[in-house]
Structures are given as structure tokens and as C-alpha cells.
Amino acid sequence: MTNVEKYYLILYGNYEYSVHKCNTLEDAKDIAEILGIYYNSWFIVKGIEVLNSDD
């Protein structure tokens, strides 16, 4: 198994939300800057993606 750090950008408005998985914090911030105008709020969560290997 391999652990990979990922950043999840969550944007939300009155009746909708959007989630984007990003490789770096800078990528998440860039997307938030562009898409943030369409939503009321947004936040970034740091997570770990676990990749299984059948080898």
C-alpha cells in the first residue's frame, strides 16, 4: 500500500456544492480563486489517499 497526500477543495453555495481533488495546496488555492466567485464559501481539507497494490 502507498499513501499519497492530497488536498480536497470543497466549494458550497445555497443548494449546490463541488469537490475537487488536488495534488498540491497551491493547486487547490488556484482553483478556489477561480471557482470561488460562484459559491458562498469554500475550504480545503488535507487528506491521505491510500493506493492498494495487488503485487
**Single pTM value for the model:** 0.79
Band of the pLDDT at 54, cuts 50, 70, 90? Answer: low
- 40 neighbors 2 (Cβ within 8 angstroms): no
Q: Work out the burial of residue 35: count CB atoms within 10 Å of its CB; fewer than 13 is exposed, 13-18 middle, 19 or more buried.
A: middle
Q: What is the pLDDT of residue 44?
A: 96
Q: What is the percent of the chain with per-residue pLDDT over 70, rounded to a whole number?
A: 95
Angle (nearest 5°) at CA 27 between 22 and 8? 35
Q: Which three cell numbers stand for residue 2?
A: 502507498
